[in-house]
Amino acid sequence: MGFISILSFAHKLMEERVQAGETVIDATAGNGVDTVFLAKQVGTGGIVYAFDIQETAIACTAARCAQEVPGHRVELVLRSHAELADAIPVEHHGRIAAVAFNLGYLPGHDHGTVT
């Protein structure tokens, strides 16, 4: 029996919590892995807000979402996760089902920018 990765463990916890139709946040979009996972959890009736400070990350996430979860509502936000409260519409405040943070650098890209 092997150990579960931290990413798999985080996804398992979110899978148990998040329901179809809810609003969730990927605070560090990166290459879109968590964004796609969250989009699948909330379905076409929910919404994912995916934040990143790098245009490359937003572009990578957009491409992955277009391929893997077309028709799902994913709002890509080129802003720091430190600005979540300002960027999320007020009607969603207090109603976020989950927030994913995967801190570090953008895998496969410039390691000079770190979240």
Statement: residue 110 has pLDDT above 80: no
> How high is the pLDDT of residue 3?
73
> How high is the pLDDT of residue 99?
95
> How high is the pLDDT of residue 25?
97
Q: Are 30 and 57 in contact (CB under 8 A)?
A: yes
> How high is the pLDDT of residue 90?
96
Which residue ranges form the domains of the chain, and what is each CATH number? 6-100 (3.40.50.150)
pLDDT in tens, 65-101: 999 999 999 999 999 999 999 999 999 999 999 999 9
* CA-based radius of gyration for the chain: 14
Whole-structure pTM value: 0.90
Dihedral of CA 22/28/33/36: which sign?
Answer: positive
